[in-house]
Amino acid sequence: MPNKPKVPPEVKIVAVEDYLAGRKGFVQAVHEVGVGETTFKSWVVLYKTRGARGLYPATTNKQYSKETKESAVKDYLVNQLSVDAICEKYDISKHTIVRRWVKKHNNHEEFSQPNSGGAIYMIKGRKTTIDERIEIVCHCIANNKDYGKAVEKFGVSYQQIYGWVKKYEVGGIENLADRRGKRKDEDSMTEVERLQAKLKLKEAENLRLQMENELLKKLEELERGLRID
C-alpha cells in the first residue's frame, strides 16, 4: 500500500500546469505549494513524461532494465546530460534514482535485471561445443558480464553462462572443455585453435577495459569541472 502523499495530486497538477503554461514563475510555484525546488522539478518531469497521472501515487515501483540503467549512466557521464534531462528521457520519477545508478557504476558494481518472473532463469541448458562456449564467454566479457543479454542471444541457461565465465577466470580456455566421456575428445583443440581462442578472449577483455577507461576519463573531466566551478 503506497504512502499517503504530503501534497494532494490535484494540487501538484494545478501547480505544474500553472508553471508550464507560464501563469506562474518557478520560484512562485515552488513557494506556494511549499516544497523544495528538486521535488517540484521531479513533478514537472513526471508530468511531461506521464501526464497528470504521473503525479498520482504509484501502486507499484517501476522497474528499469539493465540496459536502461547503463544508458542513463552513459548519458550522464559521457554525453553530459543533466539529471533532469535523463529523468525526462527515460521516464524516471526521482533524481535520486539516477544518482544511485551513477554511484553504483562508479563503485564498479553490476546492474541487475528487473524481476520479470525469472524469465531468463527459466531457459533450460543445452549441449554446446567448445567453440560456442568460447564465443559466449567472449560476448559476456566484452559486454561487462551481462549474463541476461547472453542468455537471450545464445539461448543457453543463465547457470551455464555464469559457470563458463567463472571457469575461464579460474583456469583459462582449458577450463571450458567438457571433460565427460566422449565430450572430452570432441572438445580437444589444436594448438592453433587454442591460440586463436586466446586471442579472441583477449580482444574481448581489451574492449571491456577500453569502455571502462573511457567512462572513467569522462568522470574525471566532470569532477575537475565541478571543482573549478
Q: C-alpha cell of 8?
A: 494532494
Q: Model's pTM, two decimal places? A: 0.38
Report helix, strand and coil shares of the chain as percent, to nearest 5. 70, 0, 30
Distance CA 197, CA 135 (A): 9
Task: Give per-residue pLDDT as tens, 84-123.
Answer: 888 878 778 778 888 888 888 887 777 766 554 445 555 6
Which amino acid does the sequence have at 43? W
CA angle, 208 then 214 then 220, to 5°: 135
What's residue 1's pLDDT?
A: 41
pLDDT band at 185 (very low <50, low <70, confident <90, very high): very low
Express each pLDDT in 22-79 by its tens digit. Answer: 999 999 999 999 988 888 888 888 888 777 777 877 655 667 777 788 888 888 888 8
pLDDT-based confidence at residue 133 (cuts at 50, 70, 90): confident
> How much is the average pLDDT of 129-139?
84
**Cβ pair 92, 102 in contact under 8 A:** no
**pLDDT tier, 189 (very low <50, low <70, confident <90, very high otherwise):** low
pLDDT, residue 61, reads: 60
The domains of the chain, with CATH numbers, are 1-60 (1.10.10), 63-114 (1.10.10), 119-221 (no CATH)
Query: What are the pLDDT digits (tens) for 112-125?
Result: 665 544 455 556 77
Q: What's the Cα-to-Cα distance from 226 to each of 73, 99, 131, 141, rounded to whole Å?
A: 18, 16, 48, 33
